[in-house]
């Protein structure tokens, strides 16, 4: 694709289109529903009257971007209770990738291939956590001071003469008017063998004991494992406790539906009559 074609693409993109492309680059994969929640939120998280109306608007945007080769839909769709286009999975298209790259003055080209099922499920689960945080922040529940995806959330630390890289799925800082909450997030789908989970926990513990994160930021973030079921949470908790070399107090294991209790443990905003308000407080992804 020529530079002229890429420049011409910019004339067809709105500011919201560009934000959609940036989110697809950031999260790698997003469903139509996730894009809708990020960019056309419906009540009580946004201005659109209904989710269905917002989804139709999102589908129109994505269909137009697909014609421009700025986004691409995956062959497979996700399962679930949603219907129709809400289940479609999207990734950045080659025109969109080149446009964002040239906009930043970068030359290295990223490849976007059809991902495997397990990778896609994990990427969408990570994105779901970020989307959930974003829509609550946008509705004024709290602020998001930082939200970093891979590889921006990775941490390299030194043990002896060896450099070790810790690779969380996400890093987030949320805040209300008095408190900040810093978290490394691991999104577990219940498919990882427990020995692999424990190896990751040991890397976190080594990072904690190295002290470099605390020296840079004054604290070590909570390590939050988000799991699909309470049975999986108990299994990981029991495995950590049984491992004599691990400090169980360093890790929080909870189900995904309880994620806000750990990642943003703040009271919902209220107006003067005690109702939850949806006026934005300024949280942004």
Token duo for residue 207: 């990072």
User: Using one digit for the tens of pLDDT, what is the confidence trace for 169-201?
Assistant: 999 999 999 999 999 999 999 999 999 999 999
Residue holding tokens 């709290």?
Answer: 142
- 3 pLDDT exceeds 90? no
The stretch 52-56 carries a mean pLDDT of 95
- Which pLDDT does position 262 carry in this prediction? 97
- 283 pLDDT exceeds 50? no
DSSP of 90-138: EEE-HHHHHHHHHHTT--PPPP-----HHHHHHHHHHHHHHHHHHHHHH
- Which pLDDT does position 278 carry in this prediction? 38
- 274 pLDDT exceeds 70? no
- 281 pLDDT exceeds 80? no
- Closest Cα to residue 183, out of 191, 196, 174? 174
- Which pLDDT does position 54 carry in this prediction? 96
Mean of the per-residue pLDDT values for the chain?
90
- Which pLDDT does position 108 carry in this prediction? 72
Topology of domain 123-263 in CATH is Trna Endonuclease; Chain: A, domain 1 (3.40.1350)
Band of the pLDDT at 53, cuts 50, 70, 90? Answer: very high
Cα(266)–Cα(175) distance, integer angstroms: 8
- Which pLDDT does position 4 carry in this prediction? 55
pTM: 0.88
User: Using one digit for the tens of pLDDT, what is the confidence trace for 58-117?
Assistant: 999 999 999 999 999 998 766 555 555 678 999 999 999 999 999 988 877 777 777 889
The stretch 48-57 carries a mean pLDDT of 94
Band of the pLDDT at 36, cuts 50, 70, 90? Answer: very high
- Which pLDDT does position 277 carry in this prediction? 42
The stretch 115-136 carries a mean pLDDT of 96
User: Using one digit for the tens of pLDDT, what is the confidence trace for 224-264?
Assistant: 999 999 999 999 999 999 999 999 999 999 999 999 999 99
CATH architecture of the domain formed by 3-115: Orthogonal Bundle (1.10)
Task: For the chain, state the CA radius of gyration.
Answer: 20
Give the domain ranges of the chain: 3-115, 123-263
């Amino acid at each position: 694709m020529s530079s002229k074609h890429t420049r011409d693409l910019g004339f067809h993109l709105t500011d919201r289109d560009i934000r959609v492309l940036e989110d697809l680059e950031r999260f790698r994969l997003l469903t139509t529903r996730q894009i809708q929640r990020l960019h056309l939120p419906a009540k009580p998280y946004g201005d659109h009257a209904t989710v269905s109306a917002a989804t139709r608007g999102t589908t129109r945007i994505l269909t137009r971007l697909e014609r421009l080769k700025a986004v691409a839909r995956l062959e497979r769709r996700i399962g679930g209770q949603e219907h129709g286009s809400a289940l479609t999975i999207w990734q950045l298209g080659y025109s969109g990738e080149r446009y964002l790259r040239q906009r930043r003055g970068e030359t290295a080209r990223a490849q976007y291939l059809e991902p495997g099922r397990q990778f896609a499920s994990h990427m969408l689960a990570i994105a779901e956590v970020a989307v959930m945080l974003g829509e609550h922040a946008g509705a004024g529940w709290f602020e998001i001071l930082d939200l970093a995806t891979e590889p921006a959330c990775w941490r390299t630390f030194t043990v002896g003469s060896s450099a070790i890289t810790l690779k969380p799925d996400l890093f987030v800082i949320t805040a209300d008017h008095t408190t900040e909450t810093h978290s490394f997030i691991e999104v577990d789908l219940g498919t990882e063998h427990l020995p692999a989970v424990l190896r990751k926990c040991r890397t976190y513990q080594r990072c904690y004991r190295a002290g470099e994160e605390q020296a840079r930021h004054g604290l070590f973030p909570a390590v939050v494992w988000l799991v699909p079921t309470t049975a999986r949470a108990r299994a990981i908790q029991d495995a950590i406790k049984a491992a004599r070399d691990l400090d169980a107090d360093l890790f929080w294991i909870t189900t995904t539906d309880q994620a806000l209790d750990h990642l943003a443990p703040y009271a919902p905003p209220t107006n003067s009559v005690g109702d939850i308000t949806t006026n934005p407080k300024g949280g942004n992804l």
